[in-house]
Amino acid sequence: MSLIALAGWLFADLLLGMTIIMLGAQAASPASPKPTPGPAISPSASPSSSGCAARVAGVGSKALKISFRVDPSASGRELVTQVKTALRAHKRRLAGRHAGMVLTFGANGATGDGVQLAGRVNEAARRAYPGIFRSAATRNFHDLAAPGGSISMEVYFVTEGCADKR
């Protein structure tokens, strides 16, 4: 591989890393809170007494890394079954969470084929576990070093926390 091509990949990786950092660092604008049934709040209670000025959601900076193998020639249904089986091994770490961003690296011969396989796996994950992957932003990549049918997923989950008090 030429040195120019390697420099391009290095630039792309650095840009991706900076994007992930920026997404994790940005806080979403707080939505107007919906009233929830529960005990009435006394007039003397203030947001500062709860320790939280406002609740915000964002994408966490630590990824859950998952690797598994699939049959690149599998039909849509077969691929959903393979992905569902592979992700079931991680159900404790996936349960009750929502993916905000998923980076999927597929290996299947030529570069375009690996990217296409990664896209098919992302769609299969949405079908297998819609509660987790339905609204996730996905990016498909080719893994140059892995054997055919290898999949590596980096799942970044939606987080919720407190906005800064001002």
Give the Å distances, CA to CA, from 66 to 1, 94, 132, 150: 28, 11, 14, 11
| Residue 134: inside a domain | yes
Q: What is the pLDDT of residues 131-161, one digit of tens each?
A: 999 999 999 999 988 998 999 999 999 887 6
Task: Evaluate whether residue 6 is within a structural domain.
Answer: no
Residue 136 falls inside a structural domain: yes
pLDDT for 41:
39
Percentage above 70 pLDDT, the chain: 75
Q: In the prediction, which pLDDT does 23 show?
A: 73
Q: Please compute the mean of the pLDDT values over residues 6-14 and round it to a whole number.
A: 78
In a domain, 127, yes or no: yes
Confidence bin at 16 (pLDDT 50/70/90): confident
The pLDDT of residue 6 is above 80:
no
In a domain, 144, yes or no: yes
Residue 156 is part of which domain span? 53-162
Kindly report the average pLDDT of the chain as a whole number.
80
Q: What is the pLDDT of residues 73-107, one digit of tens each?
A: 999 999 999 999 999 999 899 988 899 999 999 99
| End-to-end CA, the chain | 53
Residue 145 included in any domain = yes
| Strand, helix or coil for residue 31 | coil
In a domain, 60, yes or no: yes
Q: How far apart are CA 48 and CA 45, in angstroms?
A: 8
The pTM of the full predicted model, rounded to 2 decimals, is: 0.63
- Residue written as token pair 């996905």: 138
Domain count, the chain: 1
Q: Give strand pairing partners of 153.
A: 66, 104
Looking at the domain assignment, is residue 24 inside a domain?
no
> What is the distance between the alpha carbons of residues 15 and 38, in angstroms, rounded to a whole number?
46
C-alpha 52/C-alpha 38 separation (Å) is 18
What share of the chain has pLDDT > 90, as a percent? Answer: 45
What is the CATH number for 127? 3.30.1330.180
Please tell me which residue, 148 or 41, carries the higher pLDDT value. 148
